[in-house]
A and B are shown apart, each in its own frame.
Chain A
Amino acid sequence: MKQRWMAYPYIVWMILFIVVPLALVVFYSVTVQSGAGIRFTMENFRRCLDPIYIKVLIRSVVLALISTGVCLLLGYPVAWILSGKEYSKKKILYLLIVLPMWMNFLLRTYSWMTLLERNGVINFLLTRLHLPPLHILYTDGAVVLGMVYNFLPFMILPIYSVLSKLDGSMIEAAQDLGGDAFTVFRRIILPLSLPGVVSGITMVFMPAVTTFVISRLLGGGQFMLIGNLIEQQFLSSGDWGFGSALSVIMMLLILLSMGIMQRHEQESEGGVLW
């Protein structure tokens, strides 16, 4: 407690770049500027309830959920292999997972565009093999693909970190008591790795539901996802009030989903993650 002053730089940083902007966003969302000055209004939030925007919101959540699910299905087995003793090329595998994160996010997403294009690399190969070409780019499929590709490491790493700390004798004890591989996984490994799964889901779902780059580059459309909608309010329409209202709703949504996850966590594990 003596070294409390060591936190001061960060506190200043937090106030400047997190608390103040957040307060501004909330301020913009409930006010409107007119010739007479600044006036309180709920108009921005009322506009958000328009079916068009609700649809965008639902679409964002659904695509993010699908991506999170795919990430979990792909990531869990990889995390398991990484944490195990058997596989000798673990370091290479780990490197392959982390390596894409060393490259720029935009660059990676642009490269998917090139791959998926009508005359891109994949279709070139497919036609060479006399297979019908695929039309993935500018579909929901491409957006999910982009999300999974970009966010997969955020699923693997937390699960890996929990699994690698799992006491091997726990698994042996379960086998010893008659558990076959499936039972051991279901009764011991999965429940004990749940904290990792929960933080993996959180770390994938949150950026996925708010992304606007992936949806714009790979999804094509302007109103694809809530992220694009918000971006447009600020950059093209200049309607900061509406954009802020959308942002606030988005934040509340994420807060809510995190709360649900945390509650589930506390019920099953005694709450250790946050």
Chain B
Amino acid sequence: MTNDVILQLVDISKSFGDTPALVDMNLSIRRNEFVTLLGPSGCGKTTTLRIIGGFEDADSGDLLFEGANINDLPAYKRKVNTVFQKYALFPHMNVFENIAFGLRIQKMDKKQIGKKVERMLRLVNLEGYGRRSVDSLSGGQQQRVAIARALVNEPQVLLLDEPLGALDLKLRKEMQLELKDMQQSLGITFVYVTHDQEEALTMSDTIVVMNNGVIQQIGTPEDVYNEPKNAFVADFIGESNILDGVMNEDFLVTFMGRKFKCVDQGFARDENVEVVIRPEDIRVVPANCGMLGGKVLSVTFKGVHYEMMIESKGITWMVHSTLMAGVGKEVGLDIHPNDIHIMKRGRTA
């Protein structure tokens, strides 16, 4: 597995003035992996990408590409290419020349450039657009040109900085699938930056959740969603009810003044913990039948499900259910032991 590592960040730190942007970041990226750096704005995900791309120097730490240190290698010599957030297409060149830019620098012969560019245009569904000026393209088309311009150089690693941020929802969903397809068929490592958790879950092999310049969790989409390591990850990936609780003993936790069975263990006796419960994991049952009783405060129709705010003993729960209970109605809440996630306190950086 270590042989397969193409890119490695070792103890990378970076600060802007007095503000730390990255703190001792360690990350290994494997060949052909789709890695997503996910986090709120200012979490250091873009800085990480810029350090890999060579547009920013780390204050300390090492960046290894196929085992070799590339700390001091300038951007133009790195075997990575970037798709920029706002595309950064060259306005004085047409679509063809934009895509051909990298190849022309390599002094490739004209015939071959023509062939490669045409193939790229086909790949991104823009056949026949070569002579068009980039200003005449829609946002989605510009995005495709930006991707083609980076991919035509056959980089080993493609860096993408929120590439779909400016597109509308429907187009974004289409492009997500297209990008994932491209990544798999071309066999290129993608390092993808986004703040959109759904996007991350849809596309990634591995998600790196970041906050305040610190990695919170690295794992598969299933891992970070089902087994969030701390309350921050739980809150950021999907929606969560987060409560204070006390871990009485293994498999037994107290919150809301009631003992619940759970599946976590290994905490100290009576340790204060955070209890995370996903809104869709709470079942609404008739009043007096549930573990907790509550009153419906509001109901919002969300398409697939209803989102209900249910008040119970002074705490408002967010509950997702396909069944609706009317506002003001007394209901019961049921939670399965599997769905109670216990997290140590104070792990959120």
A167-B88, A192-B91 given as contacts; is B105 within 8 A of A176 (CB)? no
- With an 8 A cutoff between CB atoms, is B53 at the interface? yes
**Are the C-beta atoms of A178 and B105 separated by less than 8 Å?**
yes
Interface string of A151-192 (1 = CB under 8 A from B): 000000000000000010110111111111001000110011
Contacts of A257 in B (CB 8 A): none
Complexed CA–CA distance, A175 and B81 (Å): 10
Distance in Å from the Cβ of A268 to the closest Cβ of chain B?
7
- With an 8 A cutoff between CB atoms, is A269 at the interface? yes
Contacts of B81 in A (CB 8 A): 176-177
- What class of interface size applies to chain B in its complex with A? 20 to 34
- With an 8 A cutoff between CB atoms, is B16 at the interface? no
**Are the C-beta atoms of B153 and A178 separated by less than 8 Å?**
yes
**Are the C-beta atoms of A183 and B84 separated by less than 8 Å?**
no
**Are the C-beta atoms of A175 and B153 separated by less than 8 Å?**
no
**Are the C-beta atoms of A179 and B88 separated by less than 8 Å?**
no
Out of A170, A183, A270, name the residue touching B105 (CB < 8 Å): A183
Complexed CA–CA distance, A191 and B106 (Å): 20
Contacts of A179 in B (CB 8 A): 76, 101, 105
Distance in Å from the Cβ of B16 to the closest Cβ of chain A?
12
Distance in Å from the Cβ of B129 to the closest Cβ of chain A?
18
Contacts of B75 in A (CB 8 A): 172, 175-176
Distance in Å from the Cβ of A264 to the closest Cβ of chain B?
14
**Are the C-beta atoms of A177 and B88 separated by less than 8 Å?**
no
Contacts of B77 in A (CB 8 A): 178
**Are the C-beta atoms of A178 and B91 separated by less than 8 Å?**
no
**Are the C-beta atoms of A173 and B82 separated by less than 8 Å?**
yes
Distance in Å from the Cβ of B30 to the closest Cβ of chain A?
22
- With an 8 A cutoff between CB atoms, is B170 at the interface? no
Best-surrounded residue of B80, B82, B86 (most CB of chain A within 10 A): B82
- With an 8 A cutoff between CB atoms, is B149 at the interface? yes
Complexed CA–CA distance, A183 and B77 (Å): 13
Contacts of B106 in A (CB 8 A): 178
Q: Report B307-347 residues with CB < 8 Å from chain A CB.
A: none
**Are the C-beta atoms of A169 and B91 separated by less than 8 Å?**
no
**Are the C-beta atoms of B88 and A169 separated by less than 8 Å?**
yes
- With an 8 A cutoff between CB atoms, is B55 at the interface? yes
Distance in Å from the Cβ of B337 to the closest Cβ of chain A?
50
**Known pairs A167-B86, A175-B55. 11 more at Cβ < 8 A?**
A169-B86, A170-B90, A172-B88, A173-B88, A176-B80, A176-B150, A178-B76, A178-B106, A179-B101, A179-B105, A192-B92
Contacts of B133 in A (CB 8 A): 270
Contacts of A270 in B (CB 8 A): 133
Closest 8 CB pairs of A and B: A177-B102, A169-B88, A173-B88, A175-B75, A178-B105, A176-B82, A175-B76, A191-B92
Distance in Å from the Cβ of B63 to the closest Cβ of chain A?
16
Contacts of A175 in B (CB 8 A): 54-55, 74-76
Complexed CA–CA distance, A13 and B76 (Å): 55
Contacts of B54 in A (CB 8 A): 175-176
A176-B82, A177-B149, A178-B153 given as contacts; is B76 within 8 A of A170 (CB)? no
Contacts of B153 in A (CB 8 A): 177-178
**Are the C-beta atoms of B92 and A176 separated by less than 8 Å?**
no
Contacts of B89 in A (CB 8 A): 173
Q: Report B83-113 residues with CB < 8 Å from chain A CB.
A: 84-86, 88-92, 101-102, 105-106
Closest to B133 in A: A270
Contacts of A187 in B (CB 8 A): 101
A169-B84, A183-B105, A187-B101 given as contacts; is B76 within 8 A of A176 (CB)? yes
Complexed CA–CA distance, A268 and B89 (Å): 17
